[in-house]
Amino acid sequence: MAEEKSRLQSLFEAGHFVVTGEIGPPMGADTGHVYKAAEELKGYVDAANVTDNQTSILRMSSIGGSFLAQQKGVEAVMQMTCRDRNRIAIQSDLLGAWAMGLKNLLLLSGDHQSFGNDKQAKNVYDVDSVQVIKMISDMQNEGRFSNGKKVKGVPSFFIGTSANPFADPAELQLIRLKKKIRAGAKFVQTQAIYDVDKFERWMEKVRAWGLHKEAYIEAGVMVNKSVRSIEATQMVPGMDIPDNLIERMRNASDPKEEGKNIVLEIISRIEKIEGVAGVHIMAIGWEEIVSEIVRRAGFSPRPALN
């Protein structure tokens, strides 16, 4: 069993400001889609999330996509939601994922199936996101499944989770984040940030609670290339986009350029916030832009590992 830490974990621990990207697997078994996205991100991000049927749209699995991304030299952050799998499936799939060389794991509740094309599907939620983090963390620390049986070949995922600084009720969202970290989450990726003032206030609370010392907080940002894209983003649950940014996109003569400008402005502010340990850039379907964003934000080249 590989004991070597993931690149992502090593960089966080070495105190680097980490940059991650995101790959959305295809709606099919096409390997080329993931390969292409991975090639575009390679060298510009330290790792890339591979989403687990995000917004409940049926796609290639995160495990499969993560494996493909790693074949192209991009370390994957595999995502796993509680929406589609019970505790048996979650643990089983994670054993397979670890065996195939995946090392970073982002555990989430998952968007409800009513958002996707399979609204008729049964929703699982055998465990919630706090419970699943504790379950996997305990499995790794104690070498036992949640059923108490001994694990032969114990995984050692670098476990992360998500947080939404803009969701309600604010205090309870923080309590839940605290519970996720207590359960074993070592890094946290936030929902895409558009309202930096609000995010700053959230980070003040995170610092007051000391959560930034217990887990690495990565600020999420999204790159929008069109008015349609930012309007669609606004419709995503838990998303909070100030009207002036949508207006800026609407009034822009070159919306693509404006989208890049907006995200660069956001990044330049959030990287200065105390307790932010990295940035998570989401540009699904526009992966080729990530290299430019990373360069223009001054994050290139990415650090090498010793």
Partner 1 sequence: MIIASQKPLDEIRDTLKAYDKVLIAACGTCVTVCLSGGEKEALELKALLGLEGDKAYRVVTPERQCDSEFLEAFDEDVKWADVVLSLACGVGVQYMAERYEGKPVIPGLNTSFMGTNRDAGYWTEMCQGCGNCVLEKTGGICPVARCSKSHFNGPCGGSANGVCEVDPSIECAWQLIYDRLKSLNQLDRLYDTIPPRDWRTSRDGGPRKIRRPDVAIEEV
Interface ranges with partner 1 (CB under 8 A): 82-83, 87, 109, 111-112, 114-115, 123, 125-131, 134-135, 146, 162-164, 166-169, 171-173, 175-176, 178-179, 182-183, 191, 237-238, 240
Q: Quick one: 33 or 176, whose CB is closer to partner 1?
A: 176
Neighbours of 224 (CB within 10 A): 28
CB of 182 to partner 1, least distance (A): 7
CB of 189 to partner 1, least distance (A): 11
Quote the tokens at residue 20. 């991650």
Pairwise CA distance, residues 75 & 73, whole Å: 6
CB of 80 to partner 1, least distance (A): 15
Check if the beta carbon of residue 40 is closer than 8 Å to that of residue 14. Answer: no
Pairwise CA distance, residues 303 & 199, whole Å: 27
CB of 150 to partner 1, least distance (A): 19
Q: Quick one: 144 or 256, whose CB is closer to partner 1?
A: 144
- Which runs of E-coded beta strand occur in 70-124? 76-81, 104-108
**Partner residues linked to 219 by β-bridges:** 279
CB of 287 to partner 1, least distance (A): 24
CB of 71 to partner 1, least distance (A): 31
Q: Quick one: 17 or 209, whose CB is closer to partner 1?
A: 209
Cα 124 to Cα 83, 89, 107, 110, 296: the distances in Å are: 5, 11, 15, 11, 42
Q: Quick one: 54 or 70, whose CB is closer to partner 1?
A: 54
CB of 134 to partner 1, least distance (A): 7
Pairwise CA distance, residues 10 & 48, whole Å: 15
Q: Quick one: 173 or 229, whose CB is closer to partner 1?
A: 173
Cα 54 to Cα 109, 213, 290: the distances in Å are: 11, 29, 20
- Which runs of E-coded beta strand occur in the chain? 18-23, 47-50, 76-81, 104-108, 158-163, 187-192, 216-222, 276-282
Pairwise CA distance, residues 267 & 194, whole Å: 10
Q: Quick one: 16 or 182, whose CB is closer to partner 1?
A: 182
Query: Alpha-carbon Rg of the chain, whole angstroms?
Result: 18
Q: Quick one: 31 or 109, whose CB is closer to partner 1?
A: 109
